[in-house]
Amino acid sequence: MKKLLFTGTALALLMATAGCDKDTLVEDPRSVLVPGFFGTPDGIQAGLVGVYSGLRNITADQGGSNFMSQGTDEFMRGFGASDGFEDYNAGQMSSTNGTATNLWNAFYGNINTANGVLQYAGTVQGLAPATVNQIVAETKVLRAWNYFYLVQSFGDVPLMLKFVDTPTKDITRAPLAEVYNAIITDLNDALSPTTGISNTAAQPGRVTRATALHLLAKVHLTRATTTARASDDYAKAAQFAEELIRDASGKYNKGLETDPAQVFAEGNENGREVLMNVQFNADPVFTGISDNGAGGAGQNQTNFLFRVRYDLLPNMARSVQYGRPFGRLGSTPYLLDSYKLASETTPRQWRTTDTRYAKWFSTLWLVNGIGGNGGTAFNPRAVVGDTAAWYAGRELTAAEQTRINNRPNGRYVVGTPSTYTTNFSPYINKYDDATRAAVNNSSDRPLIFYRLSETYLIAAEANMYLGNTARAVDQINVIRRRAAAPGRTAQMEITSSQLNIDFILDERTRELCGEFTRWYDLVRTGKLVERVQRSVPAYVGSKPAPIPGSTDQYGSNAAVNIRPFHVLRPIPQQEIDRTSGKITQNPGYN
C-alpha cells in the first residue's frame, strides 16, 4: 500500500483519523493517510474530521487572525511583534512571509484531504448511503470554504480537485473564474435536495445546510465585484441569504439572539445564531492548549490577540479573568467611534444608543493587585474590587477628574481618546475566556466564524445593488433594532437616504468587528486603500498615555505603506521554486 507523500501545493503529510460522538468531533491523529484507508468506513470519516481539524490551523491562532484581520480600518499595529500585515511592512510582506506560507500549506492540506474523501467515497462498503452522502456533502462545503479564502487572499490559485498521492511539479495557477466556479459547484452539490447536507448538525461544529446557504450567498456577493463576476451574482446572493433568513427558525433551529451580549457569552459558542464555528475544548490533545501560549498547532489564541496592557496599570496584575495581553490588533479610532450616532449630540451620550460597544468592548478594570506597577504611590487607598482604570471614550471635564481624584477609595486611571495609546485603549472582548486553568493558556472556547446576523447584512448589500432599497433597509434595521438600548429603537433605525456601501461597511464593522472578515470586505468593495489611509492614525513614538505622567507609542505606518497591489497577499516562494516558476508571484511582491 502506497503511503502519501505530498510536495509543492499538494503539501505535507496530513494527520487525522477520527470518529465522533454525540458531543464533539473526536480526533485520533495518525502521521500518514494511505489511499486505501479512505475507501473504508473509518477512513472516510477520519478524512472528514481531518478537514475539520485543519480549520483550527487557519482561523484561531495569531497567524490566521493576523492574516484575516490586520491591515484594515478597524485595527492597527498592536504592541506585540507581528507579520507585517498590520502596517504593510515591505520587509515582512514578501514571498518568504511565514504566515502566508503556513496558511497556504494549511489550505491545500485541507483540500487534498477533502479530495481524498470525495475521490474514494464511492468505494466505501459498510456505511449507509445516507451517511456517505452526508459525509460527501460536508466535505464539499469545507473544500469550498478553503478555496474561497484562498482565492480571496491570493487571486488565481492552483485548482486541485483530485487526490494527490505522488510528487508533482506540474502545477499552475487557475484563473479566478475557474476557482469560483468550482466553489459554487461544490456548494450547490452540497445543497442538493436528494443527496445534500443535513439541516441541523449531528454534533457541534459540523457544517449544515444553513452554513452552505450562508457561504454560497457570501461567495456570490464576493464574486460580483471581481473579474469573474456573473450577471446574476447579486440576485443569487440575495436569494440564498433570504432563503436562510426565511427558514432559519423552522428548518434550521437558528435565529438571532435577542441581546448582543448573549452572542459571545461564554458557553454559547454553539448557540442559535451561530452558523459555523471551529471546535476547541479543554482537552490539550484536541485543542493544542499550552501553558506558554506560544502558538502551537491548533491553539485558539483569540482571547489574547486584541488585549492590551491592563497589567501595567497601577494596582493591577495579570490574571485569568482579564487574560494574557498579546497585543496583535489595536483598535483604531474609527472602530471605537463607529458606535456613535449623529443623534447623540453630547459626549456623555456617545455610544449609549447602540449597546454593542458597551457589550463587546472592555473599558473597565477592577483592582486585583494592590501596590503593583507603582500602585501605592498612585493610590495608597486602593481596595481590591474597586475601579483601577476606566477608558471613558470621551474627554473628561476638570470637575469630573477632580471628583475621581477625591474618591474615598482614591483615584483611578482614566483613559480618554486623547490619551489612548498602543498599550492602553479599549479592546474587543468577544473572545474572552475566563475559565482557563492558567493565565497564559490559550482558549478552549469554540471559535464562532459565521453568524446569522451577517446573513442579514449580505442580503442587504445584495439588495442595495439590485435596487431593492426598502428591503435592504429593513434587513439592516433588524440588526440595528436588536442592538438598540431600551426605548431607543427608533433612533437606531435608518432610512433609504442613508443607504450606501459606506454605511453597509460601517454597519459590518459595528456588528462583525474582529470576526475574520474585514480585510476581505474592504478588498471586495474596492475600499481597502481608501479606508486604511483615512482611518489608521500615523505612527508616533511618544504621546501622553492614560497613566498620569507617562507616555507611549501610538498608531501605525499602514496609511503610508499601503499600495493598490495589497489587495492580494504574496504567493509563497516555496511554491514558485517547487514548480520551477510555473506558479508565479502576485504583482508588487518580491
Three-state secondary structure readout of 388-440? EEEECCCCCCHHHHHHHHCCCCCCCEEECCCCCCCCCCCEECCCCCCCCCCCC
Distance of CA 68 to the CA centre of its chain: 7
Partners of 174 in beta bridges: 157
Strands 364-366 and 387-391: antiparallel
Write down the pLDDT at residue 590: 87
pLDDT level of residue 5 (50, 70, 90 thresholds): very low
Helix, strand or coil for residue 361? Answer: strand
> Is the confidence at residue 26, as pLDDT, over 70?
no
Write down the pLDDT at residue 282: 80
Q: Is the pTM of this model over 0.85?
A: yes
Q: What is the pLDDT of residues 405-434, one digit of tens each?
A: 999 999 999 999 999 999 999 999 999 999
Whether residue 422 contacts residue 327, with contact meaning beta carbons closer than 8 Å, is answered with yes
> Is the confidence at residue 528, as pLDDT, over 50?
yes
Q: What is the pLDDT of residues 283-339, one digit of tens each?
A: 766 666 654 444 445 789 999 999 999 999 999 999 999 999 999 999 999 999 999
Q: Give burial (CB, 10 Å; 0-12/13-18/19+) of 343.
A: exposed
Whether residue 335 contacts residue 514, with contact meaning beta carbons closer than 8 Å, is answered with no
Q: In what order do the strands lie in the sheet with 413-415?
A: 364-366, 387-391, 413-415
Average pLDDT estimate for 444-454: 97
Residue ranges of domains in the chain, CATH in brackets? 1-186+561-590 (1.25.40.390), 284-445 (no CATH)
Q: What is the C-alpha separation between 412 and 390, in angstroms, rounded?
A: 8
Give residue for cell 502576485. 586
pLDDT level of residue 4 (50, 70, 90 thresholds): very low
Q: What is the C-alpha separation between 40 and 135, in angstroms, rounded?
A: 13
Whether residue 171 contacts residue 161, with contact meaning beta carbons closer than 8 Å, is answered with no
Average pLDDT estimate for 551-566: 98
Give residue for cell 503511503. 3
Grid cell locating 402: 477632580
Q: CA nearest 205: which of 137, 278, 273?
A: 278
Distance of CA 398 to the CA centre of its chain: 40
Whether residue 191 contacts residue 213, with contact meaning beta carbons closer than 8 Å, is answered with yes
Q: CA nearest 562: which of 78, 76, 35?
A: 76
User: How many C-beta atoms lie closer than 10 Å to residue 161's C-beta?
Assistant: 14
Q: What is the C-alpha separation between 491 and 552, in angstroms, rounded?
A: 37
Half-sphere CA count of 445, side-chain side, radius 13 A: 23
Give residue for cell 494527490. 164
Grid cell locating 225: 465585484
Q: What is the C-alpha separation between 454 and 276, in angstroms, rounded?
A: 12
User: Which stretch of 196-210, 262-276, 278-292, 339-353 has the lowest confidence by average pLDDT?
Assistant: 278-292
Average pLDDT estimate for 258-280: 97
Strands 387-391 and 413-415: parallel
Residues of the chain above pLDDT 90, percent: 86
Q: What is the C-alpha separation between 366 and 358, in angstroms, rounded?
A: 16
**Amino acid residing at 129:** P
Residues of the chain above pLDDT 70, percent: 92
> Is the confidence at residue 31, as pLDDT, over 70?
no
Write down the pLDDT at residue 299: 87
Average pLDDT estimate for 266-285: 91
Q: Give burial (CB, 10 Å; 0-12/13-18/19+) of 355.
A: buried
Average pLDDT estimate for 4-28: 35
Q: Give burial (CB, 10 Å; 0-12/13-18/19+) of 269.
A: buried
Write down the pLDDT at residue 555: 97
Q: CA nearest 236: which of 315, 296, 319, 180?
A: 180
Q: What is the C-alpha separation between 65 and 67, in angstroms, rounded?
A: 5
Write down the pLDDT at residue 15: 29
Q: What is the pLDDT of residues 365-391, one digit of tens each?
A: 999 999 999 999 999 999 999 999 999
DSSP 537: P
Partners of 20 in beta bridges: 25
Write down the pLDDT at residue 417: 98
Grid cell locating 307: 488585549
Helices (H), 39-170: 41-59, 62-69, 98-120, 129-154
Whether residue 349 contacts residue 332, with contact meaning beta carbons closer than 8 Å, is answered with no
Within 8 A by CB and 6+ apart from 278, the residues are: 55, 56, 59, 60, 205, 300, 446, 447, 449
User: How many C-beta atoms lie closer than 10 Å to residue 250's C-beta?
Assistant: 10
Write down the pLDDT at residue 167: 83
Q: What is the pLDDT of residues 138-194, one digit of tens each?
A: 999 999 999 999 999 999 999 999 999 888 899 999 999 999 999 999 999 999 999
> Is the confidence at residue 28, as pLDDT, over 90?
no
User: Which stretch of 51-60, 474-483, 498-507, 540-549 has the lowest confidence by average pLDDT?
Assistant: 51-60
Q: 47-65 b/e with 16+ CB inside 10 Å = b?
A: bbbbbbbbbbbbbbbbbbb
Write down the pLDDT at residue 285: 64
> Is the confidence at residue 2, as pLDDT, over 80?
no
Average pLDDT estimate for 236-245: 98
Q: 387-426 b/e with 16+ CB inside 10 Å = b?
A: bbbbbbbbebeeeeeeebeeeeebbbbbbbbebbbbbbbb
Q: Angle CA(363)–CA(380)–CA(545) in degrees, nearest 5?
A: 40
Whether residue 76 contacts residue 419, with contact meaning beta carbons closer than 8 Å, is answered with no
Helix, strand or coil for residue 277? Answer: strand
Q: 71-87 b/e with 16+ CB inside 10 Å = b?
A: bbbbbbbbbbebbbbbb
Average pLDDT estimate for 211-227: 98
Grid cell locating 368: 486585583
Partners of 278 in beta bridges: 447
Whether residue 95 contacts residue 570, with contact meaning beta carbons closer than 8 Å, is answered with yes
Q: Give burial (CB, 10 Å; 0-12/13-18/19+) of 482.
A: buried
Q: CA nearest 453: which of 503, 404, 510?
A: 510
Q: 301-324 b/e with 16+ CB inside 10 Å = b?
A: bbbbbbbbbbbbbbbbbbeeebbb
Q: What is the pLDDT of residues 43-77, one digit of tens each?
A: 999 999 999 999 998 999 889 989 999 999 999 99
Mean predicted lDDT score pLDDT of the chain: 92
Give residue for cell 469573474. 228
